[in-house]
Amino acid sequence: MPKTVTIPVARTGIIRGCGEARTQGAVYLESGVSSTGLPLEQFLVDPPQPYDTDQKIGVSIVPDGKGTYHVIDWVGEQHYPMPSDFLEEGRLHGFSRKISRTTEFDKLTKDSRLIFVHPKAIVANAAEIAPYLPDHKLRGRCAHFAKTGDDAHFHDRNVSCSRFWYALAEANGTRVTSDDMLLPERKVSKDTSYVVEPLPYDAPEPIYRPGIIAQVPITNISVIATSDGSHKATTTRIAQAVQGIPVLERPD
């Protein structure tokens, strides 16, 4: 009996921070990291790497100089004010990013990655803010520590670490734990929220720079079904072009 292959897809039928429902006939790159069994921290870039471009909307395909093309996605600050807003949504539901149907899909392979850039990735004045961080509560938010067990980021105040995002993201609610404790919570949408560790009011204002916050595998490409079946031609064309990435027809 042939072995059944399970593709880790992104969740559908949820409200994302962008607030947009998926469009019939449209194409989406997905990364179902929430169902791979690996923690999100394995895919974070920590410290975040500087990256800037004139194209601060949508996606672009870029070569890495080693024969592989990757997809750069500039995450919109208007929908996801902090990097952690976008990443925690991905942790819970996987990533789903719309891409043009005219994309050069023949450049994408199983080794291609979705590379996420956010305008607030890097805290340029990390040394000023680091003394105010409650590091005993943020150890798990340091992706470098989570991946390597190396606590270097906790001793180098000049490093802009991923844990800064969870301290600089403002709480807009509270979460009640099983033992009736109240924790500061940040709600991204009705389907996504996470606990934050806000800084004291006398902490310095952060200075941000754009950079790469995460690199995730493209687990599949989804073509959203249309009522007239016109999406099928798009599905076939993309499936013939890409190399090693499953192309799925999905209802929404």
Quick check: 242 pLDDT over 80?
A: yes
Own/partner pairs, 139-146, CB within 8 angstroms, 24+ separation: 139/163, 141/165, 141/166, 141/197, 142/46, 143/41, 143/42, 143/44, 143/45, 143/46, 144/46, 144/47, 146/39, 146/41, 146/42
Nearest in space to 188 (alpha carbons), one of 121, 99, 114, 92: 92
Task: Identify the residue with better confidence: 112 or 252.
Answer: 112
Domain-wise residue ranges, the chain = 27-250
- Of the given ranges (2-11, 19-28, 139-148, 239-248), which has the lowest mean pLDDT? 2-11
Quick check: 3 pLDDT over 60?
A: no
Q: What whole-number percentage of the chain has pLDDT above 90?
A: 77
| Alpha-carbon dihedral 234, 240, 244, 250, rounded to 10 degrees | 20
Position of tokens 């974070």?
A: 44
Phi, psi of 88 (to 5 degrees): -70, -30
Q: Is 163 exposed, middle or buried (0-12, 13-18, 19+ CB in 10 A)?
A: buried
pLDDT of residue 18: 78
| Alpha-carbon dihedral 46, 50, 51, 54, rounded to 10 degrees | 140
- State the number of CA atoms in the 13 A half-sphere of 18 facing the CB: 14
Which range of 1-15, 48-62, 100-114 scores highest in mean pLDDT? It is 100-114
> How confident is the model over 181-215, as pLDDT tens digits?
899 999 999 999 999 999 999 999 999 999 999 99
> How confident is the model over 172-189, as pLDDT tens digits?
999 887 787 899 999 999
Quick check: 2 pLDDT over 70?
A: no
Provide the pLDDT confidence category of residue 37 given band limits of 50, 70 and 90: low
Position of tokens 């979460």?
A: 175
Quick check: 6 pLDDT over 80?
A: no
Tell me the CA distances in angstroms from 239 to 61, 87, 136, 150, 248, one per residue in order: 18, 28, 48, 42, 9
Nearest in space to 192 (alpha carbons), one of 9, 7, 33, 11: 11
> Six-digit token pair at 153?
């980021």
Position of tokens 């072995």?
A: 3
